[in-house]
Structure formats: structure tokens, C-alpha cells
């Protein structure tokens, strides 16, 4: 087996089918290829596998690429980044596939197959009933080239089948070690499909039929000089067929790394139901790109033990740290689990690490689109500096950027009925005295309040009511914000101002029956 030279520049690829937005399972594959290329000073190629004309559209391609750009992942060659080995859409490479299919035909390594889908299905069912492996029975392998050409000229339709050699296929996988597929387990397989009337009329596939996945992939990887193939475990079964084709065409075989499967929290295959929704949806909800990439990087890979992340947390790694430490040695064999709660926690960690101005920039569209009129109008009326201060106060209480308008609603005058936890706080015997003392202390202060004013008020109310701890600051919190939980009062009260807080205290008093 002729392997790609180990000293060559690392070239990897991400090759999705454009059927809509990019799902997170695909993002993980993209991410690992990107990290490996960056770590090794190599190149990442984006190749669009759009030979399925019914499902693949340019609109879907744009949606998918918008997700890649939204994650701020850069590639070196692709449909919008011309390189020396283009074109980078399979639909634009049909002549290339036809040329290589002819090479295999002319070398006697492939043959025309006139069997219909119905015939193949029937033969497969018969073999399975007899307890045999449902491999192609070689019917058309016996048809000479001259006879095949005559049948084609007469109007018969045929795809092209590769003659699978009867030998073991073994390769070293960077994750799984030596993998061997025994001789006789892989029958002759199609490399082009039998063309339809429509395809023949349009000239698609040069009359040889549309290329099958395994064939197109091999031709593309070879001609684009891909020497490392990092992909999901589900592609492991395709590898022996691809190795056969690399060797039959005289191409070097790339190094393979088949990454562990990702399961949902229910231990089932990742799907829309348990986490594998589109990247677009995640970003729209307010997940940060860096948090998503950090989370996905730890699904099936683990950094070296000696790494001490600058964040202080072993699982919070910057892009620079991921790039510097990523290696194929860290890829795990065991299936990874997509834990949504962990992703939310990680996203909250990243939000807290941002400055108030950074959070304000990200959050403004959510505020302006809020269904709460007080919030949507208030964000337009108040200054940017005020919004930044609001973000500093509330950013630590959310998991998603999209949650910020609701978390900050009380600061915009969007008061509502006290919830159960707030009512429970006010039901304490001393709560009424604390609220009254809090109101009196506020009335004696200037309109603009500082953090020191808040500290002084708390001391004064505590001394006047003999209340301490939660019995002191919880009623004050509910009186000032209408909520039992939330940002520190020293951050909130200066934002509201004395009159704003007094207004809320009066609302709470009325609901307590103290007014």
C-alpha cells in the first residue's frame, strides 16, 4: 500500500453535502480537521459534495457556509477560495470522474453492469435467505467489453462496477490501530450509477452515470492532495473500498483517523431530538462560537494532561490552546456524550468572561426584538453606557445571550406579579419591617446612588430591624427588583436610581398589603 509521504504538508478536508444548515455533528468533524491543520501548519480544504442534485442546492450551500463563517472557522481552499486543485464542487468535476472511470474500464479493473435495481434487490434477498453475505454475484463481470459496448450502442443502460480484489484490506487507523477487512467480505461495487433518461439527455456523467460516493471521494482526495482523512466512525466501513480504488488508480493512500461516535444524553445516536440541531439554531439562541467549539472539541478528544489552561479550569480552553495542543493521539475510541447542561454551563462561563461592552454588542439585537415593550423601547431610550452597566450586572445570571432581555427586564420597568419564591421571602415575620426601613433609608439618600450608598443602607436597615443575613438582604432584594434571585444589589440599585427603587418598593408594599 503506497501511503502519502509523511513529510508532506498536511492537507485535510471537510466535505459536506449541502442540504441545509450545518448540524453540530458536522461541526465537530470540521473542527477537528481545522485544529489538526492549524496545529501542523497545513491546509484545510472545503469541498462541496453536491452530486445528489435532488437534495443539494446552492441555497443550502450558502446556509451551510454561513454557519462555518458564523463559527469563525477559516479554510484555505474552497468554492469561494480558489486554489490549485479546484473546482471544489463535485457537480463541477463530472468530467474528471468520467476520465477516471474510463481508466479503470480500460485497465480491466471495472466493468459495465446492466443489472437493474430490482434484479440486485432480488439477488440480495435470495442470498440472505440462504444465509450468505449479500455480495454482487458477478453476473456482468462475465460480459466482455465488446459485448457491453454493443449493448450500450443498442440503448441498454449500465452503471460501472469496480472489480474488488479478493484479498485482505488492512490499514493503520490513527484512532483504532490496525483495522483489517477479510478477503471475500467486499464484493464488486458500483462506482457510477446507471444513468437515468434525464441524466443522459443532460449529458451528466458523460453518459457513464453519476459517480457514487466512494469513487468521487477517492478521485477528489487524490487530486486535491489530501493526505490525512479525519472523519466520523460511521465512514469506517467505506475505507476498504476507498483503499482499493486508491491503489487501482495508482494514488497514494492517505492516513485515516475515524473519530468516535457522538451519542445524545439518552445514549442513543445523536439526532435533532437529543442535540444535533443546526449550528444556525445554536448561534441564534445565543451560544457563543468559542464556547461551542470548546465544548465540541472535548467530544472524543482530550488535551494533554500537562496543559494548564489560562482560564484556570481544565475544560475551558481558548482557540489558541486548542490549536497548540491538538493531536491525533488525543482522539478517544469510546463514544462521546453530548451533554446539553454542560454546553449551557460552558456558554455561561464564556459570557461571564466577556466585558460589559462585548456582551452589550451581542445582546442588543435580542433587546430590540424583545416581546416585552418596556425592554424593546427602553434599550433605545437609554445610553450605551447604561446598557453596558446593565450587562455587567446581569451577565452572570444567564446561560445564553438570548436570555439577557428577560434577566434584565426588571431594570427597564417591566414589573410583574411577584413569583412564588419572592412571595415566600416576603412571608417571613420580619420582612415587612425590613421593607419599611429600606424605604425610609432610600428616601434620605440622593437620586444618584453609589455602591457605597447601598452598603450604608444595608447597614442602616440591619441596625434598625436587628435583621441579618438572608432575613436582611432577601427582602431588600425583592423590594428593589421584584425577584428573589438575581444580580448583586450594589450593582442594581445604582442603575435604577433612588426613585426607580422607591417605585418598586411601593409596588411590593401594595402586594404585601403594607401600603
Does residue 322 lie within any of the structural domains?
yes
Q: Which of 58, 3, 27, 52 is nearest to 246 (CA)?
A: 3
Q: Are strands 110-113 and 189-192 parallel, antiparallel or unpaired?
A: unpaired
CB 127 within 8 A of CB 177: no
Among residues 405, 436, 471, which one ends one of the domains?
405
How far apart are alpha carbons 235 and 218 in whole angstroms? Answer: 13
How far apart are alpha carbons 131 and 124 in whole angstroms? Answer: 11
Shared domain check, 369 and 347: no
User: For residue 252, how many other CB atoms are within 10 A of its CB?
Assistant: 16
The residue segments making up the domain with residue 388 are: 354-405
How far apart are alpha carbons 54 and 435 in whole angstroms? Answer: 67
Does residue 99 lie within any of the structural domains?
no
Shared domain check, 333 and 387: no
Does residue 445 lie within any of the structural domains?
yes
Total structural domains within the chain = 3
Q: Which helix (H) or strand (E) holds 421?
A: helix 420-426
Does residue 105 lie within any of the structural domains?
no
Does residue 177 lie within any of the structural domains?
no
CATH number of the domain within which 431 lies: 1.10.10.350
Among residues 378, 405, 432, which one ends one of the domains?
405
Helices then strands, each counted (H, E), the chain? 21, 11
CB 245 within 8 A of CB 1: no
Q: Are strands 169-173 and 177-181 parallel, antiparallel or unpaired?
A: antiparallel
Shared domain check, 484 and 457: yes
Q: Are strands 169-173 and 189-192 parallel, antiparallel or unpaired?
A: unpaired
Shared domain check, 369 and 332: no
Among residues 335, 352, 369, which one ends one of the domains?
352
Name the grid cell of 272: 435533532
CATH number of the domain within which 28 lies: 3.40.50.620
Shared domain check, 332 and 265: yes
CB 55 within 8 A of CB 45: no
User: Angle, to 10 degrees, between the axis of helix 213-223 and the axis of helix 239-248?
Assistant: 50
How far apart are alpha carbons 276 and 160 in whole angstroms? Answer: 36
How far apart are alpha carbons 367 and 380 in whole angstroms? Answer: 9
User: Tens digit of pLDDT per residue, the chain (515 long)?
Assistant: 766 666 689 999 999 998 888 998 999 999 999 999 999 999 999 999 998 767 778 888 999 999 999 999 999 999 999 999 999 999 999 999 999 999 999 999 999 999 998 999 998 888 888 888 889 999 999 999 999 999 999 999 999 999 999 999 999 999 999 999 999 999 999 999 998 888 888 787 788 889 999 999 999 999 999 999 999 999 999 999 999 999 999 999 999 999 999 988 888 877 766 666 789 999 999 999 999 999 999 999 999 999 999 999 999 999 999 999 999 999 999 999 999 999 999 999 999 999 999 999 999 999 999 999 989 999 999 999 999 999 999 999 999 999 999 999 888 876 667 888 888 998 999 999 999 999 999 999 999 999 999 999 999 999 999 999 999 999 999 988 888 888 889 999 998 899 989 988 888 888 777 76
CB 2 within 8 A of CB 247: yes
DSSP character at residue 354 = S
3-state SS, residue 239: helix
Does residue 221 lie within any of the structural domains?
no
* 128 CB-contact burial (10 Å; exposed 0-12 / middle 13-18 / buried 19+): exposed
Shared domain check, 13 and 41: yes
CATH number of the domain within which 400 lies: 1.10.8
Does residue 54 lie within any of the structural domains?
yes
How far apart are alpha carbons 368 and 382 in whole angstroms? Answer: 12
Q: What are the E-state strand segments in 55-154? A: 110-113
Does residue 242 lie within any of the structural domains?
no
Shared domain check, 343 and 308: yes
pLDDT at 384: 94
How far apart are alpha carbons 52 and 10 in whole angstroms? Answer: 29
Shared domain check, 321 and 342: yes
Looking up cell 453536491 gives 50
CB 420 within 8 A of CB 380: no
Amino acid at each position: 500500500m503506497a501511503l502519502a509521504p509523511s513529510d508532506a504538508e498536511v492537507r485535510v478536508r471537510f466535505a459536506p453535502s449541502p442540504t441545509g444548515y450545518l448540524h453540530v455533528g458536522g461541526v465537530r468533524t470540521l473542527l477537528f480537521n481545522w485544529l489538526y491543520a492549524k496545529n501542523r501548519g497545513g491546509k484545510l480544504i472545503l469541498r462541496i459534495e453536491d452530486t445528489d442534485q435532488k437534495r443539494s442546492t446552492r441555497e443550502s450551500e450558502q446556509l451551510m457556509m454561513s454557519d462555518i463563517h458564523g463559527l469563525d472557522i477559516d479554510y484555505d481552499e474552497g468554492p469561494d477560495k480558489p486554489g490549485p486543485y479546484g473546482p471544489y464542487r463535485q457537480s463541477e468535476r463530472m468530467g474528471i470522474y468520467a476520465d477516471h472511470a474510463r481508466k479503470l474500464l480500460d485497465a480491466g479493473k471495472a466493468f459495465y453492469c446492466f443489472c437493474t435495481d430490482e434484479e440486485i434487490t432480488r439477488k440480495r434477498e435470495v442470498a440472505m435467505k440462504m444465509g450468505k453475505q449479500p455480495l454482487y454475484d458477478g453476473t456482468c463481470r462475465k460480459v466482455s467489453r465488446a459485448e457491453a459496448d454493443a449493448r450500450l450502442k443498442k440503448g441498454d443502460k449500465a452503471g460501472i462496477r469496480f472489480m474488488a480484489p479478493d484479498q485482505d484490506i488492512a490499514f493503520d487507523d490513527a484512532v483504532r490501530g490496525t483495522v483489517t477487512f477479510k478477503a471475500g467480505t467486499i464484493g464488486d461495487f458500483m462506482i457510477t450509477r446507471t444513468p437515468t433518461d434525464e441524466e443522459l439527455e443532460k449529458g451528466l456523467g458523460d453518459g457513464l452515470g453519476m459517480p457514487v460516493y466512494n469513487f468521487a471521494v477517492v478521485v477528489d482526495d487524490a487530486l486535491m492532495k489530501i493526505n490525512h482523512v479525519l472523519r466520523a466512525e460511521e465512514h469506517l466501513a467505506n475505507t476498504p473500498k476507498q483503499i482499493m480504488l486508491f491503489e487501482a488508480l495508482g494514488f497514494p493512500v492517505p492516513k485515516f483517523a475515524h473519530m468516535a461516535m457522538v451519542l445524545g444524553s439518552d445514549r442513543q445516536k445523536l439526532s435533532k431530538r437529543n442535540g444535533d440541531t443546526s449550528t444556525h439554531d445554536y448561534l441564534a439562541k445565543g451560544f457563543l462560537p468559542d464556547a461551542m467549539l470548546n465544548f465540541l472539541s472535548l467530544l472524543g478528544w482530550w488535551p494533554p494532561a500537562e496543559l494548564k489552561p489560562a482560564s484556570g479550569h481544565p475544560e475551558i480552553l481558548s482557540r489558541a490552546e486548542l490549536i497548540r495542543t491538538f493531536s491525533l493521539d488525543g482522539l478517544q475510541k469510546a463514544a462521546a456524550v453530548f451533554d446539553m447542561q454542560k454546553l449551557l454551563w460552558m456558554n455561561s462561563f464564556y459570557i461571564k468572561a466577556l466585558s460589559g461592552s462585548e456582551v452589550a454588542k451581542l445582546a442588543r439585537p435580542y433587546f430590540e426584538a424583545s416581546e416585552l415593550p418596556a425592554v424593546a423601547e427602553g434599550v433605545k431610550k437609554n445610553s450605551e453606557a447604561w446598557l453596558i452597566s446593565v450587562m455587567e450586572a446581569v451577565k452572570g445570571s444567564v446561560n445564553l445571550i438570548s436570555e439577557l432581555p428577560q434577566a434584565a427586564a426588571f431594570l427597564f420597568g417591566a414589573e410583574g406579579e411577584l413569583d412564588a419564591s419572592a412571595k415566600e421571602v416576603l412571608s417571613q415575620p420580619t420582612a415587612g419591617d425590613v421593607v419599611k426601613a429600606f424605604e425610609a433609608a432610600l428616601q434620605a439618600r440622593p437620586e444618584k446612588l453609589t455602591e457605597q450608598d447601598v452598603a450604608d443602607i444595608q447597614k442602616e436597615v440591619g441596625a434598625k430591624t436587628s435583621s441579618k443575613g438572608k432575613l436582611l438582604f432577601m427582602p431588600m432584594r425583592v423590594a428593589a427588583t421584584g425577584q428573589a434571585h438575581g444580580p448583586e444589589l450594589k450593582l442594581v440599585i445604582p442603575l435604577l436610581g433612588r426613585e426607580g427603587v422607591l417605585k418598586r418598593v411601593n409596588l411590593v408594599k401594595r402586594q404585601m398589603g403594607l401600603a
